[in-house]
Amino acid sequence: MDGGSGERAAPLLSRPLVSLRGVAKRYDSGTVALQGVDLDIGRGDFLALLGPSGCGKSTLLRIIAGLASPSSGTLAWPAAAQDQRGPTLPRLGFVFQEPTLMPWATALANAALPLRLEGVARSEREARAAEALKRVGLAGFERAYPRALSGGMKMRVSIARALVTRPDILLMDEPFAALDEITRFRLNNDLLEIWQEAGFTVVFVTHSVFESVYLSRRIAVMASRPGRIETEITVPAPYPRGEGFRTSSDYAAICRTVSLALAGAIAA
Amino acid sequence: MTLAPDEAPRPVAARRVFFLPAGTWPRILMPLFIGALSLGAWEWAVRAYEVPHYILPSPSLIWATLLRDWGSLSVSLWITLRITFAALAVAAALGLLLAVLFAQSKWIELSLFPYAVILQVTPIVAIAPLIIIWVEDIRIALLICAWIVAFFPILSNTTLGLNSVDHNLADLFRLYRASRLQALLLLRLPAAMPFFLGGLRISGGLALIGAIVAEFVAGTGGRASGLAYRILEAGYQLQIPRMFAALVLICITGIAIFLSLGLVQHLMLRHWHESAMRREG
């Protein structure tokens, strides 16, 4: 069951996009949030970080995003270092569990925020934000304020904001956990569609076995006290995946395997 | 990627009666009804018991005096209003500026905030005479007094607002390497706006009170001509209806300031803030 870079994990180049070695995070209070994390994430990969609450999966995501620094160990971007012309670090997109929109700004202004912070001219950033909103199915809602949008639509704006910079890697912290199941399924399919079209890397934090199996190519199963990666599982199912996959016996079998691995990790 | 038809919420139109939402009418009519009832009782009592007008004038007499003396009273009202608004403007500008400064550095906040509190808790009546003696120009002296009273709510509210930014949004700004100035202009100031406007609404009334109190102090020295001075003057001359007329003007002014700042608040926040939303259904 172990081992990630199997023959089906398609566009893994020789150098991974992100590489973590012996990463640990200790807080001043003495709590060990993460310990001994070794992880390689390839270009175009879809990796799920699956684990119970308190296993440090959000902390791991924040370390990759640069929002938290590891207490020990290293985080490297091997694929980016060899690229001389562009910016040294790859472009990041981050989606929080809450939509985290600016309530005083329209959907368009919210989606355009990363470009505005980069100093992109108004006409260009609005055009690109409108394009991103269209991509997440929100064409026509550019002028709407967040409070006029449903929970699912707010999350779509949040995804559009993460996509607007055309990121190399999209970091998602339980983005659909607060949504109802029907909306969640819909957003799962839409996310996969965008991912296959754009080909960026996704790191997706979730506590749902079903969601991790449905979405990802690879699942890092995590355990807590101290937070660590217990095992990695490659999901042996081809893309595109759709509702047919969700109801297939293959899907059920993989979910069972992953559930057992998760139960083992929690018990360990 | 497309949006499913049931995913978008449908806007609900509120039922309107004579241009205002149906639920607003009782809020306007009930206080008016109580007011009319009290005025009627007052008028009746004064007439029935033949209370002399130098003890308690009837509402109709106060109204007649207000109309008769409108010339001199309106001049005084204008003077008081100018001081009030100047003080409010200075309080808003300085309060905002200082709050922004506090938000930039915890050290500045730690060192200066206690002095802002001292300014706030010092009774204005006690220090107004000093300020009036120290400051040559009486209008500036009055403005300083009104400003001292009006300043604190804006400062403390805005400081609170600047510090109540959504942590995830702040992280997002960090992720995209926003500068301090960008974070201030695009995140912290907009987030503090409802707090600032709430402070402004409190300060509007306080600026008027501060101006009137200072005018009283100055007026005892015969050095002012605002509404408070008219009240003093009328009191000395036992023109009680005129005293009441000036008082009515002060009340109306205070209510008008409160309502207009409320309107400003509503107009600026109506698109997004919970406070400006009408609950429907």
User: Which tens digits make up the pLDDT trace of B190-204?
Assistant: 999 999 999 999 999
CA A119 from centroid of its chain's CA atoms: 26
Query: Does residue B6 surpass a pLDDT of 90?
Result: no
| CB contact B177 to A (< 8 Å) | yes
- pLDDT level of residue B122 (50, 70, 90 thresholds): confident
The helix (H) or strand (E) run that includes residue A218 is strand A218-223
How distant, in Å, are the alpha carbons of A155, A184, A194, A212, B183 from that of A187?
9, 5, 10, 13, 30
Comparing B177 with A86, which gets the higher pLDDT? B177
pLDDT at B10 over 80: no
pLDDT band at A82 (very low <50, low <70, confident <90, very high): low
Q: Tokens 């004064």 correspond to what residue?
A: B46
Whether B26 shows a pLDDT value over 80: the answer reads: yes
Q: How many CB pairs under 8 A join A and B?
A: 75
Please, which residues bridge with residue A19 across strands? A40, A76
A81 burial type by CB count under 10 A (0-12 exposed, 13-18 middle, 19+ buried) = exposed
- Which pLDDT score, from 0 to 100, does residue B13 have? 63
Instruction: Reply yes or no on whether the pLDDT at A109 is more than 70.
Output: yes
Partner-chain contact A103 B272, CB within 8 Å: yes
C-beta atoms of A153 and B7 within 8 A: yes
Closest CA relative to residue B227, chosen from B239, B244, B210, B215: B215
CA distance A133 to A111: 7
Contact A156 B3 (CB under 8 A): yes
Q: How far off is chain A from B196, nearest CA to CA, in Å?
A: 15
Looking at residue B1, its pLDDT comes to: 62
Mean pLDDT of B231-244: 91
Quickly state the pLDDT bin for A83 (edges 50, 70, 90): low
Write the single-letter amino acid at A178.
Answer: A
Beta bridge mates, A46: A202
pLDDT, position A1: 40
Pairing assessment for the beta strands A228-234 and A218-223 based on DSSP bridges: antiparallel
Cβ–Cβ contact B277 with A under 8 A: yes
- pLDDT number for residue A85: 58
Q: Which ipTM value was assigned to this complex?
A: 0.88
Pairwise CB contact (< 8 Å): B1 & A148: no
DSSP states of A23-64: EEEE-TTS-EEEEEEEEEE-TT-EEEEE--TTSSHHHHHHHH
Cα-atom radius of gyration of chain B, to the nearest Å? 24
Of chain A, the percentage scoring pLDDT greater than 70 comes to: 91
Burial call A146-180: b when 16+ CB within 10 Å, e when fewer: bebbbbbbbbbbbbbbbbbbebbbbbbbbbbeebe
Take residue B160 and report the two structure tokens written for it. Answer: 């609170």
**Predicted local distance difference test score (pLDDT) of residue B3:** 73
Strands A201-206 and B20-21: unpaired
Calculate how close chain A gets to B32, using CA atoms only, in Å.
Answer: 34
Is the CB of B268 inside 8 Å of chain A's CB atoms? no
- How far is residue A246 CA from its own chain's centroid? 20
pLDDT value, residue B281: 38
Query: Considering chain B, what is the average pLDDT of its residues?
Result: 89
**Rounded average pLDDT over B51-68:** 93
Facing B3 at nearest CB: one of A100, A118, A137: A137
Q: Do residue B168 and residue A135 have CB atoms under 8 angstroms apart?
A: no
Nearest CA in chain A to B166: A100
Q: What is the mean pLDDT of chain A?
A: 89
Q: Of chain A residues 206-265, which have a CB less than 8 A from chain B?
A: none
Q: What is the pLDDT of residue B223?
A: 65
Minimal CA separation from A200 to chain B, in Å: 17
Comparing A211 with B217, which gets the higher pLDDT? Answer: A211
Q: Which residue has the higher pLDDT, B41 or A267?
A: B41
Q: What is the mean pLDDT of residues A86-96?
A: 81
B210 neighbors B87 (Cβ within 8 angstroms)? yes
State the Cα–Cα distance between residues B96 and B193, nearest whole angstrom: 10
Mutation target among B164, B169, B175 for the A interface, most CBs of A within 10 A: B175
User: How many C-beta atoms surround the C-beta of residue A69 within 10 A?
Assistant: 9
Question: Considering only CA atoms, which of A253, A155, A231 is closest in space to residue B3?
Answer: A155
Read off the tokens for A127.
């055009």
For residue B270, pLDDT over 90 is answered with no
Q: Summarize the confidence of residues B107-134 as an average pLDDT.
A: 89
